[in-house]
Amino acid sequence: MIVRELELDLDAFEGPFDLLLALVLKEELDLRDIDLAAIVVAFLERLAKREELDLEACGEFLVLIAALLELKARALFPDENAELAELDPEEAAEELARRLAEYRRAKEAAQWLRERLAAEGDRFFRLGPAPLAPKVEIPLAPQDPEALGAVLGLLAQEPPQVSLSHMALHFPPVSQFLDRFRAVLRRRSRFDFDSEVQQLTRLEQAAAFLALLELRRSGELRIEQAAPFAAIRVSRLEENPVSDERTEEWKLRSA
């Protein structure tokens, strides 16, 4: 154990910690001359060198150092507490031995519990009520047969048909945009499609674009676009349109 391996180098004592305890119990060494804080520091340094926490050693050391502190306090302040002052050094040594015995019994009990846990750790207790527990009967509230029949009758009725008319898409007529674009081309020779339809809804813009394609198909206007997703420029055809309108140049410009 790390406690028994602890070497002390104090002003009044030099040697193992076990020897210090033996000298104190035999009253061959006065606790008032022992620096207990130096013992604690030496234990912490030894514990740090091990690079692991030894709980058993820490528990044993705490019990021993606490007993030594109590004995030293009684020796330093004999008149502070009359009940504690009644103990002479021999009784104090007996008290320390008794506490060490109690600590040993607690340590053995902890070892027994650890062995029981290792042996029975794979057993599980049953969740839920005990098999022989009495069953609790929940009384039902009084029911009205006629009311129950009326409710079942409501469930048997066919539910009303849900109207989906509000979900239908109503496209505006394309003809109104045909007339609109023709009127614009009579006033101006050129206009931007985006500027004309920016105030319209998405459905109205779709119908307007279909009208624009229809006018282009019938040869009433010309469509130009500099790049994909660029603004669409619509212009009126000349009075004497070229006969070979669907040439390669037109195809490249309209692509």
Give me the tens of pLDDT residue by residue for the chain, a chain 255 residues long: 566 667 777 777 777 777 777 777 777 777 777 888 888 888 888 777 777 777 787 888 888 888 888 887 777 665 544 455 566 777 777 777 887 888 888 888 989 988 888 888 777 766 666 667 677 788 877 888 888 888 888 888 888 888 877 676 677 788 888 988 888 888 888 889 988 888 888 888 888 899 889 988 988 888 998 888 888 999 988 654 444 444 454 444 444
**Of residues 85, 45, 78, the one with CA closest to residue 61:** 45
Would you state the pLDDT for residue 252? Answer: 47
In a domain, 181, yes or no: yes
In a domain, 145, yes or no: no
CA distance 227 to 21: 97
Amino acid, single-letter form, for residue 144? D
Domain boundary among 77, 98, 119: 119
Total residues belonging to the chain: 255
Would you state the pLDDT for residue 241? Answer: 45
Number of domains in the chain: 2
- CATH number (domain holding residue 194): 1.10.10.580
In a domain, 58, yes or no: yes
Domain boundary among 55, 90, 119: 119
CA distance 201 to 205: 6
Q: Residue 200 has which token pair?
A: 């319209």
| Structural domain for 181, as ranges | 171-254
In a domain, 166, yes or no: no
Would you state the pLDDT for residue 125? Answer: 67
User: Based on the domain organization, do 175 and 112 belong to the same domain?
Assistant: no
CA distance 54 to 52: 6
User: Based on the domain organization, do 31 and 98 belong to the same domain?
Assistant: yes
Domain boundary among 103, 119, 135: 119
Would you state the pLDDT for residue 32? Answer: 75
Q: Residue 88 has which token pair?
A: 């002479």
In a domain, 155, yes or no: no
In a domain, 2, yes or no: no
User: Based on the domain organization, do 189 and 100 belong to the same domain?
Assistant: no
Token look-up 């750790």 returns 121
